Structure 1
Amino acid sequence: MEVNAARALAGAKTCFVGIGLPSTAANLARATLNPGLVLIYESGTIGSKPTRLPLSIGDGELAETADAVVPVPEMFNYWLQGGRIDFGFLGAAQVDRFANINTTLVDRGPDRPAGRLPGAGGAPEIAANCRQVLMVLRHSPRNFVAKLDFVTTLGHGAGPQDRKRLGMRGAGPVAVITDLGILRPDPDTAELTLTDLHPGVSVEQIRQATGWKLRTAPEPRTTAPPTEAELTALRTLKSAGKQGR
């Protein structure tokens, strides 16, 4: 999952990075196939080159290794809303068939209060304004749901015309990368469709892990296994973070 997420940034120049799995993937991409990738974090750091995986957007490592640090209003008003960023990379607690995201709350059942999640952060603006959006999360019925408990961030709304109707400049989510495979929006309906399987994973396995009737490409591809260089770089990033603690 992390390696394929990094590979998706092969041609990117700039990436607005979310913390967690997106940050792992973006830093792995910079350490392997795209050393010139400019990493941008919500706290205002541009061109960060962390030597370990940051713990949050406020991690000092991001500012210390950045080419520039700008105020947060400038980051959003000029860089993000100005359409100057190629890719946004987001995680999610829940995602639906049109790549809409929930990171706000989850329904825990009758007579129980809703479970609170970290919230939106900059994700709604990232999804609205980056030229393209990538998502990465683990694949399970708990995460891939027929109906979100709360719509935090709009992906493709209810279909292919919603983004245009709402005046969103970016193309929206172009791929959802999971630990089982890769889903991409259908060009006509914008509904997520299984296009790639990771080695050893079956279509039926992915369907069982999805909360709706998942569409599949006529002949889903199989992703290439991680190379030794990719695994070494990934392990180095993760071990550096543990040593830093």
Structure 2
Amino acid sequence: MPEISPDEYMAVAASQEIGDGETAFIGTGLPMVAAYLAKATHAPRVNLVFESGIIDPAPIELASGVGDYRLAYGSTKIAGTFYALSLLQQGKVDIGFLGTAEIDRYGNLNSTAIGPYRRPKVRLPGSGGANDIASMAKRFVVICRVDRKRFVEKLNYLTTPGFLTGPGAREAAGLPGAGPVRVITDLGILGFDPVTKKMQIEQCFPSITPDRIKENISFEISEAPSIKEAPPPSCEQLHLLRTQIDPDGVYVKHP
């Protein structure tokens, strides 16, 4: 088996979250790579929606962002941001992908500010469509690297809802989506306990132990009852990532 980078593990794990025939709301970076990988392998009928309103493109090369008109090539429709977000509001999006600067044990996200909102230490990009995706997609997946400053006990600002304060909180807030189902990191795959809604370790990447993941998270996190080692990417998946989808390593760093 060839050497495999953490980015490649993350991209493959994210692609596995997409089902064939689903509608997936895609962002820039690893979600874009994961979506193309899913479409090239196990989910050829997935419909890809970008926040810019570009629908199901077949670009020749990777775009620099969701508004890059390289995405227009091969697309089935170009309709604008209002149309893309309206698909969420109509309940037509099965899965969305999000990144974050901070995440807590209930999968709530901060992409707004570090420090006081009025006088922040760092002003972040803001919500964009993240709140819409987390609130109204049928489920969503977070992709980020494990870091104690990212996995925090308390968010500096609540930009995007996960399970809010715990069981029943999403429903009480009137949010139709099921919330976060996975947090895909560079060390392993995290999920959420179905009863407590707290984050838990579900899979570790090879040579990574649960303790190493715990050391890099600021809050207490438990292990799922059936924790296991994540399977490595297949030779076909690695070939697609390295030679067709992201050969220059724009978003996925290769060994």
Same fold (TM over 0.5): yes
Q: Does 1:13 align with 2:29?
A: no
Is structure 2 residue 49 aligned with structure 1 residue 40?
yes
Q: Which amino acid in the other structure matches residue 175 of structure 2?
A: M
Mapped to 2, the partners of 1:241 and 1:193 lie a distance apart of 30
SS across alignment from 2:32: helix
Instruction: Give 1:92 shift.
Output: 1.1
TM-superposed deviation, 1:11: 4.2
Q: 2:188 aligns with which of 181, 184, 206?
A: 181
Pairing 1:91-240 to 2, within 5 Å after superposition = 91-107=99-115, 113-235=120-242, 236-239=244-247
Deviation at 1:90, TM superposition (A): 0.9
How far apart, in 2, do the equivalents of 1:55 and 1:107 lie?
A: 29
Unmatched runs of 5 consecutive residues or more in structure 2: 1-9, 251-255
- CA shift, 1:240, in A, is 5.7
Query: Does the Cα contact within 8 Å between 1:51 and 1:237 map onto a contact in 2?
Result: no
8 Å Cα contact 1:21/1:137 also seen in 2: no
Cα distance in 2 between the residues matched to 1:12 and 1:204: 37
1:151 counterpart letter in structure 2: L
Higher mean C-alpha displacement, 126-135 vs 50-59: 50-59
- 8 Å contact 1:184–1:194 — kept in the other structure? yes
Partners of 2:114 and 2:120 within 8 A in 1: no
Aligned-pair identity (%): 38
Shift of 1:56: 1.0
Task: Name the CA distance, whole Å, in 2 between partners of 1:21 and 1:106.
Answer: 24
2-side partners of 1:17 and 1:68: how far apart?
15
Residue 26 of structure 1: aligned partner: 35
Q: 2: distance between equivalents of 1:12 and 1:158?
A: 33
Deviation (angstroms), 1:185: 1.2
The 3-state SS of whatever aligns with 1:239 is coil
Larger mean Cα displacement after TM superposition, 59-68 or 3-12 = 3-12
Question: How does the TM-score come out when normalised to structure 2?
Answer: 0.88
Mapped to 2, the partners of 1:9 and 1:88 lie a distance apart of 9
> Number of aligned pairs?
238
